């Protein structure tokens, strides 16, 4: 089960990093992000993660917490670097 928990954490972390980038590009969203809300990602492309996160959200709400649901339709292909025309050499 620990491997599964770690996998869920990694997948949620990736969504969190991408959402941070999204918020930087869309500052109007920052107004709805408050410290009293827990962000829960509901990725349509990952049913297992969506179900896990939805269950976690329901538990938070049952305990009186506030949840902000972020639905994500898809992720674009991963880009490892934006650098173009790189030359590596020793002078």
**How far is 26 from 84, CA to CA, in rounded Å?**
26
Spacing of C-alpha 58 from chain mean position: 18
pLDDT along the chain (91 residues), means of 10: 80 94 87 90 96 97 96 86 77 65
The phi, psi pair for 83, rounded to 5°, reads: -70, 140
Q: What are the residue boundaries of the structural domains of the chain, listed by start?
A: 2-72
Residue 29 confidence (pLDDT): 86
Cross-strand pairs, 42: 71
Residue 1 confidence (pLDDT): 45
| Placement of tokens 């920052």 in the chain | 30
């Amino acid at each position: 089960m620990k491997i599964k928990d770690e996998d869920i954490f990694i997948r949620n972390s990736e969504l969190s990093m991408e959402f941070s980038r999204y918020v930087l590009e869309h500052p109007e969203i920052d107004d709805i992000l408050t410290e009293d809300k827990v962000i829960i990602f509901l990725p349509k492309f990952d049913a297992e993660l969506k179900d896990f996160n939805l269950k976690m959200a329901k538990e938070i709400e049952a305990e009186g917490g506030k949840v902000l649901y972020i639905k994500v339709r898809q992720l674009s292909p991963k880009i490892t670097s934006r650098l173009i025309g790189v030359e590596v050499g020793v002078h």
